[in-house]
């Protein structure tokens, strides 16, 4: 009797195997599988211990400045960070490096004291603070590293297709460096705010400057996870492009509004809801932006030249025409006119870039993964973003009830947040229920970025309402 059988037979029921005469009860035996905690190595436990020690240190040092909600967030953040570090191992060295560098920067500040606490003038006196570890220096390093990462990712397109790209590998390392410097800048800025006055200190997610830093490192970090998950670096050029655009806006906003200066919170923002609503919102924004750039890569790979010219070039050119028509055809204030001129210039730059991308679509798509991979990545990004955006919208309603006395007031920001939510809810419905895939799905995801951008920035620029504290 032949004792061998095929892999297909190995998954069949006992009665279906050759020579079986009667059905036997099904049994499952898993050999070598260990429990979740038994599978941890020494570095996992060292990382967990260091996170708990850090949380304990933060509580012992700053508990007097925390309310009960902040203490609860700290208590929940420690095990969440441990779980994330165990789930995705590159987070562990990142967390340890950011923690060590932030503590080093704080110690440098504490060596210089004034009547209240650390002397923030040390940022211009102490070498490491001035050139690397003060919040502003770290965020400037973040900006440089983001642009360098984007450049190296794009250089990777012009290396041999299918081979290992050294430029893309450098781009990945620079992206990790940008995330690290952004997190160091965020942590140190949080400390700096508390050194100005007791009633000024706050988590740095309260204005456009701070949330653009948040968007930068969150989007980059999410991309780096998917880069490893899907084993491809070819999408780095596309995703880091939108991150670079955010950094460009951040630097312009810093110069135009001196936004890096730490300001007291307006009354509506003096709430613990801000600490969870804003990060959840920006996980959504970052995921939607990443999905849109994956969609752009999909369209360059698959769409017809005519569709690309009409959609990718014609749409921004049309937006420029609309902005200029409104600018010169309506009686607008000088501030709004300047804003319209600026947006028209930006859209013209987008049109030129997209025209160059269409012209160079051959080398720009030669290294891209299969269409099924692109489609799956876009779906996972939108699903993740939609989940967090939903949570953020619910949290925002609770925050509005506390701040303004009502859960929903049809404020322009709220209305456009609902439009964003409905857009991606419809996208997910069409995919899951109707099997939406390919070019149509990609166009929808790319247009979704325009809707999201207007909800985030356009409302602040063109409309007014209860959220006007975030105006440009």
Residue 242 in domain? yes
- Locate tokens 């041999």: which residue? 160
115 and 243 both lie in a single domain: yes
Predicted model pTM: 0.86
Q: Is residue 346 part of a domain?
A: no
Q: In angstroms, rounded to a whole number, what is the distance separating the alpha carbons of residues 416 and 268?
A: 20
Residues of the chain with confidence (pLDDT) below 70: 1-36, 114-117, 160-164, 462-472
- CA-nearest of 390, 411, 387 to 400 is 411
Q: What is the pLDDT of residues 285-331, one digit of tens each?
A: 999 999 999 999 999 999 888 888 888 888 888 888 888 887 787 77
Task: Tell me what pLDDT residue 285 has.
Answer: 95
- Flag whether 369 is in a domain: yes
Give the model confidence (pLDDT) of 162-211 as tens digits.
566 889 999 999 999 999 999 999 999 999 988 887 778 888 988 889 99
pLDDT number for residue 97: 95
Q: Are residues 250 and 288 in the same domain?
A: no
Residues 213 and 250 in one domain: yes
328 is a domain residue: no
Number of domains in the chain: 3
Give pairs for 452-461: CB < 8 Å, separation 24+: 452/285, 452/288, 452/289, 452/420, 454/416, 455/413, 455/416, 455/417, 455/419, 455/420, 456/285, 458/416, 459/412, 459/413, 459/416, 460/208, 460/413, 461/339, 461/343
Token output for 117 = 């606490």
Q: Domain for residue 111, yes or no?
A: yes
Q: What is the pLDDT of residue 15?
A: 38
Q: Does 72 reside within a domain? A: yes
One domain, residues 100 and 239: yes
Residue 53 lies in a domain: yes
φ, ψ for residue 23, nearest 5 deg: -70, 135
Quote the domain boundaries for residue 64.
41-87
Q: What is the pLDDT of residues 3-17, one digit of tens each?
A: 433 434 343 433 343
Q: What is the pLDDT of residue 154?
A: 92
Give the C-alpha separation, 452 to 288, whole Å: 8
Beta bridge mates, 113: 118
Q: Is 9 exposed, middle or buried (0-12, 13-18, 19+ CB in 10 A)?
A: exposed
Query: Is residue 472 a part of any domain in this protein?
Result: no
Q: For position 468, what pLDDT does the model report? A: 56
351-371 pLDDT tens trace: 888 888 888 888 888 888 999
Contacts of 194 (CB under 8 A, 6+ apart): 65, 117, 200, 201
């Amino acid at each position: 009797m032949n004792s061998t059988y095929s892999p297909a037979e190995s998954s069949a029921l006992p009665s279906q195997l050759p020579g079986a005469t009667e059905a036997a009860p099904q049994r499952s035996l898993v050999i070598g599988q260990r429990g979740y905690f038994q599978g941890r190595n020494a570095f996992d436990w060292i990382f967990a211990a260091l996170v708990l020690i850090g949380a304990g240190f933060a509580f012992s040092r700053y508990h007097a400045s925390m309310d009960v909600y902040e203490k609860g967030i700290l208590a929940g953040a420690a095990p969440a960070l441990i779980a994330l570090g165990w789930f995705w191992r590159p987070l562990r060295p990142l967390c340890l490096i950011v923690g060590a560098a932030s503590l080093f920067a704080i110690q440098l500040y504490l060596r210089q004291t004034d009547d209240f606490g650390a002397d923030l003038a040390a940022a211009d006196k102490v070498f490491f603070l001035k050139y690397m570890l003060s919040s502003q220096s770290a965020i400037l390093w973040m900006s440089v590293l983001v642009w360098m990462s984007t450049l190296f990712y794009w250089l990777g397109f012009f290396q041999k297709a299918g081979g290992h790209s050294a430029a893309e590998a450098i781009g990945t390392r620079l992206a990790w460096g940008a995330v690290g410097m952004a997190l160091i800048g965020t942590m140190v800025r949080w400390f700096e705010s508390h050194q100005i006055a007791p009633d000024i200190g706050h988590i740095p997610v309260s204005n456009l400057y701070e949330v653009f830093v948040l968007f930068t490192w969150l989007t980059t970090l999410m991309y780096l996870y998917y880069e490893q998950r899907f084993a491809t670096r070819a999408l780095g050029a596309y995703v880091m492009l939108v991150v670079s655009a955010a950094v460009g806006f951040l630097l312009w906003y810093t110069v135009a509004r001196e936004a890096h200066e730490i300001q007291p919170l307006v009354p509506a923002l003096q709430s613990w809801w801000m600490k969870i609503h804003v990060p959840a919102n920006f996980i959504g924004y970052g995921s939607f932006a990443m999905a849109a750039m994956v969609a752009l890569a999909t369209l360059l790979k698959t769409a017809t030249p005519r569709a690309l010219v009409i959609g990718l070039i014609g749409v921004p050119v049309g937006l420029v025409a609309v902005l200029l028509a409104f600018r010169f055809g309506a009686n607008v204030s000088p501030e709004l006119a300047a804003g319209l001129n600026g947006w028209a210039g930006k859209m013209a730059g987008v049109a030129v870039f997209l025209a160059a991308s269409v012209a160079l679509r051959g080398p720009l798509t030669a290294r891209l993964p299969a269409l099924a991979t692109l489609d799956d990545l876009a779906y996972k990004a939108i699903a993740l973003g939609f989940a967090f955006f939903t949570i953020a919208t619910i949290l925002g309603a609770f925050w509005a009830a506390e701040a303004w006395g009502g859960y929903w007031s049809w404020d322009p920001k709220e209305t456009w947040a609902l439009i964003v939510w409905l857009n991606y809810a419809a996208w997910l419905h069409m995919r899951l229920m109707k099997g939406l895939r390919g070019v149509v799905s990609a166009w929808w995801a790319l247009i979704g970025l325009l809707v999201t951008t207007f909800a985030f920035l356009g409302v602040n620029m063109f409309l007014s309402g209860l959220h006007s504290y975030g105006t440009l």
